[in-house]
């Protein structure tokens, strides 16, 4: 979710669910140590609970970055050992580390010593020619011994040689049963499943086998689904009953960000999937795209865009 789940996206998603845990886009340990920390790590207090996702392989740097994240107020540190991007392969972090479980464990151990908040790991079933039965167990055993608090498993292999990052999101077949077997073999390890989960009905089905479910692109492309997360998964009322109310609740944040110099499009770009398939959705997207980038664009652009959507859709909760 690099370049997607920035702070503006997370504030928007938090308005639709009080309970789901939000994750940042992956940030490298080097960027956090040497970069503009306020810009990279700053987040709104409303986002809690929110986890900082790190990329890196040097245990000392990971520990330093994790402590910086804890000091910024994050609720969890997550080490990404699953991203198949070319950038992460070249930098020796992400999915290529599936081949080095001992090094991943060193990083987890270093972070656990540096922070008091939970440290978790996100991985794949394996990479390239690895046997998922062997590779996933090896990674899991290593990070459990190092003290990880949970393992998030994207239920696909990553092919670093032969497939593009985009193809790695769809072409390798999903194997949810492999994740279920891991949980059965390691009942004391909290296991969260990820990959190809399109809706909350599917999420609920997975929860019969594992401890949690992570939604990525489904939550981003169809954010309205999150309005049903609290009622369906946590037995609690949704924060709002209508997407119109969600957007109105977003207005104070948008106005505050505009006053700080943030462009409207930097925020509204995360809204384009809100009414997918609903009459007026295309007009909604077009209005945001054409007017949100204009100098001085304000919240009226968002309100005008919402007004273009079928009123019954705007007023309805996620189905």
Phi and psi at residue 193, in whole multiples of 5°? -100, 145
Task: Read off the tokens for 115.
Answer: 């922070």
CA dihedral 275, 281, 284, 290 (to 10 degrees): 120
Q: In this structure, are residues 53 and 27 in contact, taking their beta carbons and an 8 Å threshold?
A: yes
Q: How far is CA 119 from CA 72, 79, 209, in A?
A: 15, 8, 22
222 CA to centre of own chain:
14
Residues annotated catalytic, as ranges: 83
Question: DSSP secondary structure string, the chain?
Answer: -TTTS-HHHHHHHHTT-SSSPEEPPPEEHHHHHHS-HHHHH---GGG-SEEEEEE---HHHHHHHHHHHHHHT-SEEEEEE----HHHHHTT-GGGGGG-HHHHHHHHHHHHHH-SS-EEEEE-S-BTT--HHHHHHHHHHHHHHHT-SEEEEESS-B-TTTS-TTGGGTSSPP-HHHHHHHHHH-TTS-EEEESS--SHHHHHHHTTTSSEEE-SHHHHHSGGGGGGHIIIIISS--S-SSHHHHHHHHHHHHHHHHHTT--HHHHHGGGTTTTTTSTTHHHHHHHHHHHTTSTT--HHHHHHHHHTS-HHHHHSPP-
């Amino acid at each position: 979710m690099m370049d997607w789940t920035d702070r503006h996206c997370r504030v928007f998603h938090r308005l639709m669910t009080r309970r789901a845990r939000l994750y940042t886009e992956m940030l490298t340990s080097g960027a956090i140590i040497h970069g503009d920390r306020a810009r990279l790590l700053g987040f709104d207090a409303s986002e809690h609970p929110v986890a900082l996702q790190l990329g890196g392989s040097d245990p000392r740097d990971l520990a330093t970055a994790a402590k910086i994240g804890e000091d910024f107020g994050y609720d969890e540190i997550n080490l990404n050992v699953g991203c198949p991007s070319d950038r992460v392969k070249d930098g020796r972090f992400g999915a290529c580390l599936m081949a080095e479980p001992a090094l991943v464990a060193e990083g987890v151990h270093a972070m656990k010593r540096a922070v008091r908040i939970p440290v978790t790991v996100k991985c794949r079933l394996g990479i390239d020619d690895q046997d998922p039965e062997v590779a996933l167990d090896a990674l899991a055993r290593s990070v459990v011994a190092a003290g990880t608090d949970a393992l998030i498993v994207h239920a696909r292999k990553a092919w670093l040689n032969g497939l593009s990052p985009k193809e790695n999101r769809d072409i390798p077949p999903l194997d949810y049963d492999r994740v279920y077997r891991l949980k059965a073999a390691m009942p004391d390890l909290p296991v969260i499943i990820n990959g190809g989960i399109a809706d909350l009905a599917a999420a609920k089905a997975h929860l019969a086998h594992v401890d949690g479910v992570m939604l990525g692109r489904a939550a981003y492309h169809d954010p309205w689904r999150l309005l049903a997360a609290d009622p369906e998964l946590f037995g609690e009322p949704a924060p709002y009953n209508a997407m119109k109310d969600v957007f109105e609740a977003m207005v104070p944040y948008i106005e505050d960000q505009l006053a700080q110099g943030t462009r409207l499009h930097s925020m509204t770009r995360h809204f384009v999937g809100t009414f997918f398939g609903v009459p007026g959705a295309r007009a909604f997207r077009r209005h945001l795209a054409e007017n949100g980038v204009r100098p001085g664009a304000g919240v009226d652009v968002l309100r005008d865009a919402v007004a273009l959507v079928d009123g019954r859709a705007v007023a309805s909760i996620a189905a």
